[in-house]
Amino acid sequence: MYVLVINAGSSSLKYQLLDAETLSVVDKGLCEKLGLPDSFYHHGLGDAEQIESLPLADHHAAIQAVLDHLLDPLSGTLASLDEIAAVGHRVVHGGEHFYQSTIIDDEVLAQIRECVPLAPLHNPPALTGIEASKALIPTALQVAVFDTAFHHTMPPKAFMYALPYEMYEQHRIRKYGFHGTSHRYVARRAAHILKRPLEDMRIVTCHLGNGGSIAAVDHGRSVDTSMGFTPLDGLMMGTRCGSIDPAIVTYLILELGLSAEDVDQMMNRRSGLFGISGISNDIRDIDEAAKSGDTRAQLALEMYAYSVRKFLGKSVFAMGGLDAIVMTAGVGEHSSAIREKIFVGLEGLGIVLDVKRNVEGGTERVISADDSPVTLLLVPTNEELMIARDTIELYEASRTSGDRSDT
Ligand code: ADP
């Protein structure tokens, strides 16, 4: 039996097919530029990796192409679609409804749809992916795994904004937090590596990719996180500004005459590392420019590391202590220079980076000094594995309870 993991973006669809027993990945791929004339499908592992130009009008067409590939008599993995026991869908926003991964039935679909205004760019493609998957693989159990769910444990003092209370009551304006599946995975993994129960530890997880967020994971529960009502808040990111004085927004609109859409575009697409450096949103390009003396590139890197450091500090104080910090995602896993900028100078707080371990090869590892009171770890994230695990767990539970009403 297999589990299919689907991550539907606005114009892309990523998938992984995993063996339900061993959780090993047997196939994976990516359909890109859906709806555009140059859409393509990239699939296969290792030597079998291939890119095909294919007309892919939408998510339905993309899932159909994936299934055709998986069922191909010569190169496919599956003899029949019945071998897919369950499909796990990444859904960005679960609002206040969902605090854990959930079997999708009509009511759940309606509740995900209700969250569309909270995540207008992310939830609609997830819904389209779910509908297509239900239509094309009707025998499989469909499961939703929410990016927001892990942060459901935040207390009101952390998730409320100091706006008039009715903004929360009537409009659900509050902090939700994102990247939850990644924070949950790397926190668990860190406890496993350190051979300590997660429930006994205070961990700060830093997911630093193109988007970035930090979570304070107190005894296994997220108690605060840097992203907020939307993924724009918190850290300086690739193209997003992160936390700024909210009055800047009204100033830009009222004094400079920008439209709300202009400001939204500016803060989401033209700010962050890109906005400051004027070069790129990619740390590698900025690093190169900084080394050749570009002062804006140097400033962008300094600001980025400082922003992470400040949110690290907030998380430690939120929990009242710290056992470990985990670095993950593109920047967190690969940029030793950024890690050094973040951690060097924090020795007085018990955070001692081992500069040599920091730059050594290898992936999952401890990068703090042996005598560092706080352990620093590098853990590659694996959201797909987490989605697959949750999906299989729900599949097994539904088989024992006989509850398959949604299929
Ligand atoms: P996303 O948030 O889109 O999933 P990733 O987690 O893949 O992104 O992170 C992408 C970012 O990671 C890039 O924009 C780049 O800044 C950084 N990155 C990736 N590889 C490296 C590397 N080898 N060295 C430094 N930075 C890297």
Q: What is the pLDDT of residues 101-156, one digit of tens each?
A: 999 999 999 999 999 988 888 899 999 999 999 999 999 999 999 999 999 999 99
- 283 Cα nearest atom in ligand 1: 16
Residues 6+ apart with CB under 8 A from 176: 93, 95, 118, 148, 151, 159, 227, 228, 229
Model confidence pLDDT, tens digit, residues 35-84: 999 999 999 888 888 898 989 999 999 999 999 999 999 888 999 999 99
Residues 6 or more apart whose Cβ sits within 8 Å of residue 50: 42, 43, 44
Beta partners for residue 218, in sequence order:
202, 221
Domains annotated on the chain, with CATH: 2-146 (3.30.420.40), 195-383 (3.30.420.40)
Q: To which residue do tokens 């140059």 refer?
A: 38
How many Å lie between the centroid of ligand 1 and the Cα of residue 246?
Answer: 28
Conformational region of residue 127, where left means phi above 0, alpha means psi within -120 to 50, and beta covers everything else: alpha
Query: Could you tell me which residues come within 8 angstroms of residue 121 by beta carbon, excluding any fewer than 6 positions away?
Result: 10
Q: How far is the CA of 212 from the centre of ligand 1 (A)?
A: 10
Give the closest residue to 88 by CA, choosing from 70, 102, 71.
102
CA–CA separation, 72 and 63 (whole Å): 14
Which residues form the pocket of ligand 1, taking CB atoms under 6 Å from any ligand atom? 209-211, 238, 281-284, 329-331, 334-335
Which tens digit of pLDDT belongs to each residue from 222-258?
Answer: 999 999 999 999 999 999 999 999 999 999 999 999 9
Task: Tell me whether residue 218 is one of the annotated catalytic residues.
Answer: no
Which of 284, 327, 381 for a ligand 1 pocket mutation test, highest count of atoms within 8 Å of Cβ?
284
Half-sphere exposure of 341 (CA within 13 A, CB side): 19
Selected catalytic residue, list 19, 47, 72, 147: 147
Substitution site in 178, 183, 210 for ligand 1 pocket (most atoms within 8 Å of beta carbon): 210
Rg of the chain (C-alpha set) = 22
**Local confidence band at 406 (pLDDT 50, 70, 90 cut-offs):** very low
Give this prediction's pTM: 0.94
